[in-house]
Amino acid sequence: MRILAKIVHAALGVALSVALAAAATQAPAGGTNAATIVLPRLVVAGRPATLAVLDAQGALLPGAEVEFLGGAKVTTDATGRATFTAPAEAGVLVAQSGGAKASAAVILPAENSPDGVQVTETPQLISLHEPFSVGGGGFRGEAEGTRAWLGEQPALVLAASPVALVVQPGPRTPPGATQLVIEAGGRSPGPVAITVVSLEVSAEKKQLAPKEKGKFTVQARGSEQRLEVEVRNSTPDVVKLPEGAEVLRVRTRGGAENSAEVELEGRRTGDFSVSVRLIPPVAGLPDVEMARQKLVAAQRIAPKGWATRLDNLIERLEKNPQEASKVRNTLEKMLAEKPQGEFGRLLEGAWLILLKR
């Protein structure tokens, strides 16, 4: 597998894949056969920054010409990256290469920037196969001037500015809880806790006959949380997903066997292909899944009469996470009844998590 393999084929020779889905990249609207441009989310006016270009397989693409709105051009070097100077004024930077387009916000330099390197924004959960964004300060606009590790494994800085990075996990990074370390100019703010998830796909059959039912399994390794996964049908003429959707979102079941099954129906005989990608929890919102887990734990030891009351709350968080604020309000009323012991502490823990909303 290449370090930026965009498609990872599953066992049994089935053309099932894990697709690269970068938080800070934008693929061409017309399809996936063209290049993809990777930009940091923010660039600083008048300061150096680095972009990357990936080919259709997700590999870094040397010699790719990128044109900015306004006419300036850069060409990626042997590493598939190019350093440029951000526009002098605040606004929006737009980059194009073939049919691909990407944008970044241009911000003015801070008047009183803290000394050293700071990491202020990172996702709690990342996919082994997808780039992720890091926010902070004191980074180098030249990507090679900033280094990243996940545990003991090096990660690749695809794109960079003084305040934002796009980082690709190394292929040997083990799934599970680890530490992200960022270093620029020999300085580091210290490790940041992060969890790496690997999505693996397997299928019952290599091919399906017309109208034949089948299914494939998405296995999440590295986390026991229930995870949201996007499934995309790359061969809609060969198989169809439930309700004929080309894009579908499913949730894994959580726990040690953290997986989700997706049904298929054959349309014509032939190899089929689907891709899956992790939908990370939105930063700044409560960890609804963690709150749900605390309620499930509380239900197991609930005093008489309480288990049924918790059923509704757990179901609402599973089916409608956006109702977290309503669940929080209900928990607040329950806590007013002063439940005792470990049961009460679990309810309070779930309530405190949902207070973030």
Domain ranges of the chain: 288-354
* Angle at which helices 288-300 and 306-319 cross, to 10°: 160
Phi, psi angle pair for 307, to nearest 5°? -60, -45
**23 pLDDT band (50/70/90 cuts)?**
very low
52 confidence band (pLDDT: 50, 70, 90): very high
Looking at residue 15, what is its pLDDT? 30
**Angle 22-26-27 (CA atoms, 0-180°, nearest 5)?**
105
82-131 residue pLDDT tens: 999 999 998 989 999 988 999 999 999 988 777 789 999 998 899 999 99
**pLDDT, position 316:** 87
Higher pLDDT, 17 or 263: 263
Look up residue 239 and give its DSSP letter: E
Confidence category of residue 16, pLDDT binned at 50, 70, 90 = very low
Task: Tell me the residue ranges of DSSP E strands in 81-227.
Answer: 81-85, 91-97, 100-107, 118-121, 125-127, 132-137, 146-150, 153-160, 164-168, 176-184, 192-203, 213-221
CA angle 128, 257, 271 (to 5 degrees): 65
- Averaged pLDDT for residues 328-351: 90
In this predicted structure, which of 124-128, 296-300, 332-336 has the lowest mean pLDDT? 332-336
Q: Give this prediction's pTM.
A: 0.72
Q: How many CB atoms lie within 10 A of CB 255?
A: 11
**How many contiguous H segments (helices) and E segments (strands) does the chain have?**
4, 24
Neighbours of 340 (CB within 10 A): 9
Q: With contact defined as beta carbons under 8 Å apart, do 166 and 148 qualify?
A: no
* 193 alpha carbon, distance to own chain's centre: 15
Q: Is the pLDDT of residue 287 over 80?
A: no
Q: Give yes or no for residue 13 having a pLDDT over 60.
A: no
The amino acid present at 65, given as its one-letter code, is E
